[in-house]
Structure 1
Amino acid sequence: MRTLFLIFISLISTFVKAQTDTVLDTIYANDTKNVALFFPEPIRQGITGSDNFVFSYNREKEQYFGLLQAKPGKESNLLVVNRNGAIFSYIVRYKKHLSKLNYFIPLSNSIGNEKPIVTDSIQVVTSEKNIDNRTYYYQKFCSYLLNRNQRIGRIKKRMQGIVLNVENVVFDKEELYFVIQIENNSTLDYDLNFLNLSIETRQKGKKKSLQSLYQEPIYKHYLPSKIAEGKMVRFVYVMPKFSLSNDRRAILELNEKDGERNIKLNISHRYINNPN
């Protein structure tokens, strides 16, 4: 009990110090809906400062998300500690009508670590520490999307046993996430040459033509180089946010290396302008 008390005092001390340096974000909740908070590492401990706020998380098996609910009353604070010791702190307030139900917390929002980082003679370097926080966020959010069973519509095309399918288009922050599936129902492996996303514009006038503009992905999550026969792969393209007028559409072009099983899949402006 004394050990837990000392840990709690240490956390509060860190929190107070961080408040002097950082303006805390506010998260709103109510008593009719669950507000989900997704963290970059599994939650080890979550504490609210008032009984009218409840933060629930799996205490037996560490998971990446917790659920926040609130009853009417004064604002309070939420303190969360991840498995790696990273500390996150937020102001929490009751709000009858909520405009946001999901918060994806990047590692950059951490106010510090419960354990001081000490330089040791033996340095352990992980791949996650070598990449920037934004890429780390893309990794976690893409993994979350691949675990969801959500579809935006039927966006699919087949060619000689190869099926290209856009399962979902999701908007988050300033990016569009394209959840893509490729299925190989043929008897030959499929070697991927490229998979490009372009915006195609129909030129008006007597001589109608098409103009295509390639869109460079910000991040590619689990993009394969080969799809074995009889196998299916799912991955995510992260693109800068964009919208399309009625005379424009997105084109997803799948090209086979040293082969002719190429597919061009049209994505209507409706799916781009109304993502999940």
Structure 2
Amino acid sequence: MRHKFFITIFLLICFSTKAQDSVTLDTIYANDQKNVALFFPETIRQGVTGSDNFIFTYNRDKEQYFGLLQAKPGKASNLLVINKNGLIFSYIVVYKKQLSKLNYFIPSLSSIGNERPKKTESIVVDAPKKSIDNKAYYYQEFCSYLLNRKQRIGNIRRQNEGIVLSIENIVFDKEELYFVIQIKNTSTLDYDLNFLQLSVQTRQKGKKKSLQNIYQEPLFIHNRPTKVAENKTVRMVYVLPKFSLSDDRRAVLELNEKDGERNLSLKVSHRYINNPK
């Protein structure tokens, strides 16, 4: 059994080395004074480091979503982690005496591949069941991650009397779409929100053409304010179940002012919905 274990470790490190040849890996810093926590989108099945001066610990008896990394002074190495669903994550690990970051929330999109690529093309892998609290926690952390990235998908914006509504990014992760939304108030009056909602708009066929809006209920909303003060900007994330649109449909983001008329309707082409980041 011990012999098979070391063979497995050797093969994993070789696989990680090949992956690094074609993928630019992120760097994670650790030391021997503090635990650096890595939170993954699925439970950890296996984790291994490339040298003895780095230790990655995780619960081998009961699969959990996080592992702890520690390091002793020495040369840089690598960390390879495989989730329960087969996703592979690889990082350069470096010893650093002073740490500025102790928690890493790893999104699915940072995976370098899957250990079963042929099977995942045709077989849907059932995700492990999660409690509502775990799901909300993941949404919360991934939304924070997206706000910190500050990545733009295009120039999707509308303006009305000093209020600018824009969609900065649309990201697909697991089975959800994440809409990163910004409201900027360049006016001299505070803006009180009545509602901010997303709908799917369909053009009705026939002699009398009309538009039908179908409201999309968010699964989670992160950082939505009730007020945007004058000369202030707020950013938030709406999490919705994954959906796609045909050519005759589009998404519409509506911003409505409470006790006011500075309302905005932002139309989003099906191209952005069907091709998220």
- Aligned to 1:64, which of 91, 103, 112? 103
Given residue 211 of structure 1, which amino acid in structure 2 is its aligned partner? Q
Check conservation: 1:199, 1:215, Cα contact below 8 A: yes
**C-alpha deviation, 1:149, in angstroms:** 2.6
Change in 2 beyond 3 A, CA 1:37/1:242: farther
- 1:54 — aligned with what? 78
Identity %: 56
Given residue 187 of structure 1, which amino acid in structure 2 is its aligned partner? T
Q: Deviations over 1:215-260 (max 9, x none)?
A: 0000000000000000000010000000000000000000000000
Q: Are 1:31 and 2:20 an aligned pair?
A: yes
Change in 2 beyond 3 A, CA 1:37/1:209: farther
Return the alpha-carbon distance in structure 2 between the equivalents of residues 66 and 35 of structure 1: 15
- 2:238 — aligned with what? 237
Q: Are 1:253 and 2:258 an aligned pair?
A: no
- What SS is found at the alignment partner of 1:243? coil
- What SS is found at the alignment partner of 1:139? helix
Return the alpha-carbon distance in structure 2 between the equivalents of residues 189 and 49 of structure 1: 53
- What SS is found at the alignment partner of 2:20? coil
Return the alpha-carbon distance in structure 1 between the equivalents of residues 26 and 242 of structure 2: 24
Q: Deviations over 1:135-186 (max 9, x none)?
A: 0000110000000031111100000000000000000000000000000001
Gaps of 5+ in 2: 6-14, 29-34, 39-46, 53-76, 80-92, 107-112, 121-126
- 2:69 — aligned with what? none
**C-alpha deviation, 1:131, in angstroms:** 6.6
The count of aligned residue pairs is 194
- 2:276 — aligned with what? 275
Q: Are 1:196 and 2:197 an aligned pair?
A: yes
Q: Deviations over 1:13-34 (max 9, x none)?
A: xxx9xxxxxxxxxxx7412224
Given residue 222 of structure 1, which amino acid in structure 2 is its aligned partner? N
Return the alpha-carbon distance in structure 2 between the equivalents of residues 213 and 257 of structure 1: 22
Change in 2 beyond 3 A, CA 1:132/1:214: same
- 2:143 — aligned with what? 142
TM-score normalised by L of structure 2: 0.62
- 2:36 — aligned with what? 43
Change in 2 beyond 3 A, CA 1:31/1:222: same
- 2:160 — aligned with what? 159
Task: After TM superposition, list the pairs within 5 Å mapping 1:66-105 onto structure 2.
Answer: none
Return the alpha-carbon distance in structure 1 between the equivalents of residues 146 and 172 of structure 2: 11
Q: Are 1:219 and 2:220 an aligned pair?
A: yes
Return the alpha-carbon distance in structure 2 between the equivalents of residues 197 and 132 of structure 1: 25
Return the alpha-carbon distance in structure 1 between the equivalents of residues 228 and 255 of structure 2: 12
Return the alpha-carbon distance in structure 1 between the equivalents of residues 236 and 105 of structure 2: 25
Check conservation: 1:57, 1:66, Cα contact below 8 A: no
- 2:176 — aligned with what? 175
Return the alpha-carbon distance in structure 2 between the equivalents of residues 242 and 226 of structure 1: 30
TM-score normalised by L of structure 1: 0.62
